[in-house]
Amino acid sequence: MELLNVSINQANYNDKPNVIEDILFSINEGELVGLIGPNGAGKSTTIKCILGLIKSYEGEVQFVGPDKNYSYIPEHPIYYENWTLWEHLELASAAYDIPQGKFVTKAKQLIQQFQMKEVIHHYPSSFSKGMQQKMMLIIGLLNSPDVYIVDEPFIGLDPIATQTFLEYLEKERNRGAGILMSTHVLDTAEKICDRFICMNQGKMVAKGNLQELRNQSDMSAEASLFELFLKNTKVEDN
C-alpha cells in the first residue's frame, strides 16, 4: 500500500529556477527507499518539498490515507541551546502528542540504546557532532510514525550507533513504516534499501531495485550500487 506519493514538476530557490525537475516516486508500506546522487544533485531540495519547506514548487506531495504522520531526521542537527537532551525529547513528545507513560518508556529505551544516558540532562551544544546526530535520531524515532524522511543519517555516527539505527529501521519497516533515506553511504544503502532513486543535476536519472538499475544502466549482474552511481552521474567534460 502506498504511503507517500511525490510528483514534483519543478522547484526553485529565489535566485535559482528549476533546481529539481520531474521528480516522481512513491513510498510503500514497509519499504526503505534510498535517495542517492552527488553533492548538489537535489536530494535535500526534494526532501524540503516533501516537508513543505519550499512553498513555490510545482507539483504535488501526498501522504496517502487518513491521519498519516511522519518523522523527519535532518542532515544537520537542529536544537535549542538552552534546552537539555531530555527537554528536547519532552518537547517532541508534546508536539507528537504521545501519552506521558508511553513517552517515558520509549525515550528511556532509545537513550539507553544510543548510549546517551550519561548526558540525558546535558545541553546539546556540549555534545560531539555524533552525539548531536544521535539526539536527532532519538527524536525522530520517538513517535513511531507511518513515514520516515531521513536526510543523510550516518555521517558522524560511530559503528555502534549506526548498527543500533539500522536495527531500528529494520524493526520499523517490519511494523509497516515507509522510509525515504538520502545518503552517500552507498555500501550500506546497497545492503538495506529495497529501491533507489538516483538523482543528478536536479533530475531523476535512474530508479528501481538494484537489478532494475543494472538493467537500465546496461551493467552486469554483479555491478555494485557504487558502480551504478558512477555510471548514472558521470559528468562529461566539455
Task: Give me the residues that bind ligand ATP (CB under 6 A), please.
Answer: 13, 16, 19, 37, 39-45
Give the residue among 32, 31, 20 at the shortest CA–CA distance from 59: 20
The nearer residue to ligand ATP, 50 or 92, going by C-beta atoms, is 50
d(CA 75, CA 15): 23
d(CA 43, CA 225): 17
Q: Do 7 and 59 meet the contact criterion of CB atoms below 8 Å apart? A: yes
Rounded to a whole number of angstroms, the minimum distance from the CB of residue 24 to ligand ATP is 17
Interacting residues of 134 by C-beta distance below 8 A, sequence separation 6+: 114, 115, 116, 157, 161
Give the residue among 205, 187, 206, 184 at the shortest CA–CA distance from 195: 206
Q: Can you read off the three cell numbers belonging to residue 193?
A: 534499501
The nearer residue to ligand ATP, 76 or 102, going by C-beta atoms, is 76
Rounded to a whole number of angstroms, the minimum distance from the CB of residue 48 to ligand ATP is 7
Give the residue among 201, 232, 192 at the shortest CA–CA distance from 43: 201
The nearer residue to ligand ATP, 13 or 80, going by C-beta atoms, is 13
Rounded to a whole number of angstroms, the minimum distance from the CB of residue 19 to ligand ATP is 4
Rounded to a whole number of angstroms, the minimum distance from the CB of residue 177 to ligand ATP is 23
The nearer residue to ligand ATP, 39 or 220, going by C-beta atoms, is 39
Rounded to a whole number of angstroms, the minimum distance from the CB of residue 140 to ligand ATP is 18
Q: Can you read off the three cell numbers belonging to residue 76?
A: 544537520
The nearer residue to ligand ATP, 48 or 214, going by C-beta atoms, is 48
